[in-house]
Amino acid sequence: MTKIFIADDHALIREGLKTILREESDITVVGEAQSAAETLDRIVKSDCDILVLDLGLPDRPGLEVLREIKRIRPHLCVLILSMFPEDRFALRALKGGADGYLSKESAATELVVALRRIAGGRKYVSEDISQDLLEKVRGEVPLMSHETLSDREFQILRMIGSGKTISDIAAQLKVSVSTVNTHRAHILEKMNMHANAELMRYVIENKLVE
């Protein structure tokens, strides 16, 4: 029996996933959480085999939660569930230690397949995106500009793209304005841009924020 823990801040999503899995005789849900803090607290005590982790938890960036999960339970398998298409975040999530990536749009038809593949010791992404990801990992095709950023830089890029000021970002991340400005300078340099307006346009055009 494969034991699943679900971390998503929307009760309807959690119930929908549980409804899908209730039909499977070899998969059972053993726990759930609606925030990053709750997830980190409960996952230590859970005997689950796979964590289904929403990237959009409200109290902490999903990639940070993924790194923390892998630190405290390095052998726990993690399937990322996200509202963003796989070509936006899958490569970053897999590099961060995730065992699979699934968009919420595909969950109804692919969740069980994904969980069984991960339980069998393999990685999972949708077939239509897997070749592109493989080529990027191998360096056979160029990365998009945002894919060259560190996780913290990527987080700040998305916050700038959503319209937050440098002061807002510093307060939310609990760092100094100077630190945020340093990250911003690195982002502009790596992406060959010169102003926040260019960053905002890039984020919007590439659908990196809701």
Tell me the percentage of the chain whose pLDDT exceeds 70: 90
Question: What are 51-70's pLDDT values in tens digits?
Answer: 999 988 888 888 889 999 99
Does residue 87 have a pLDDT over 60?
yes
pLDDT over 60 at 140, yes or no: no
Task: Report the predicted TM-score, pTM, of the whole model to 2 decimal places.
Answer: 0.76
Residues sharing a CB contact under 8 Å with residue 43, sequence separation 6 or more, in sequence order: 5, 7, 31, 33, 51, 69, 72, 73, 76
What does each C-alpha distance from 39 to 109, 150, 154, 191 come to in angstroms? 25, 24, 23, 34
Confidence check: pLDDT of 90 > 60: yes
pLDDT at residue 137 tops 60: no
What residue ranges define each of the domains in the chain, with the CATH number in brackets?
2-138 (3.40.50.2300), 145-205 (1.10.10.10)
